[in-house]
Amino acid sequence: MKQVLLTQRFSEAQLERLRAVSPELQIEQKSVREEWDAMDTGSFFQGNEEVLYCFMPPRDLSVAPKLRWVQLHSAGINQLAGHPILQSDIFITTSSGIHAVPIGEFSITMMLALARRVPRMVRMQDAGIWPEQRWTTFQAVELRGKTLGVVGYGSIGREVARIAKHAFAMRVLAMTYSNTHADRGYAEPNVGDPEGKLPDAWFNRDGLMEMLGQSDFVLISAPLTDKTRGMVGEAQLRAIKSTAFIVNIARGEIIDETALVRALRENWIAGAGLDVFAHEPLPADSPLWKLDNAILAPHVSADTPHYDDRVVDLFAENLRRFLRGDQLLNLVNRQRGY
Q: Compute mean pLDDT per 10 residues along the chain, 338 residues long, and list them.
A: 94 97 96 66 93 94 97 93 96 97 98 96 94 93 98 97 98 91 92 97 97 98 95 98 98 98 98 97 97 96 96 98 97 92
* CATH 1.10.287.1770 applies to domain 2-98+304-324: no
Amino acid 125: pLDDT? 95
Amino acid 157: pLDDT? 98
Quick check: 145 and 169 in contact, CB under 8 A?
yes
Burial class (CB in 10 A: 0-12, 13-18, 19+), 286: middle
How far is Cα 268 from Cα 243, in angstroms, rounded to an integer? 8
How far is Cα 126 from Cα 274, in angstroms, rounded to an integer? 21
Amino acid 276: pLDDT? 98
Over the Cα atoms of the chain, what is R_g? 21
Q: If you count them, how many residues does the chain have?
A: 338
Amino acid 33: pLDDT? 65
Amino acid 243: pLDDT? 98
Q: Domain 100-296 sits in which CATH superfamily? A: NAD(P)-binding Rossmann-like Domain (3.40.50.720)
Amino acid 38: pLDDT? 64
- Phi/psi at 6 (5° precision): -115, 130
pTM: 0.94
Task: Examine domains 2-98+304-324 and 100-296 and report if their fold is the same.
Answer: yes
How far is Cα 316 from Cα 321, in angstroms, rounded to an integer? 9
How far is Cα 219 from Cα 99, in angstroms, rounded to an integer? 15
How far is Cα 158 from Cα 184, in angstroms, rounded to an integer? 12
- Phi/psi at 254 (5° precision): -70, -30
Catalytic residue numbers, as ranges: 251, 280, 299
Name the residue ranges covered by the structural domains of the chain. Answer: 2-98+304-324, 100-296
Amino acid 179: pLDDT? 78
Contact residues for 30 (Cβ-Cβ < 8 A; gap 6+): 5, 6, 7, 41, 44
Nearest to 3 by CA among 34, 31, 28, 39: 28
Amino acid 309: pLDDT? 97
Amino acid 34: pLDDT? 59
Cross-strand pairs, 2: 25
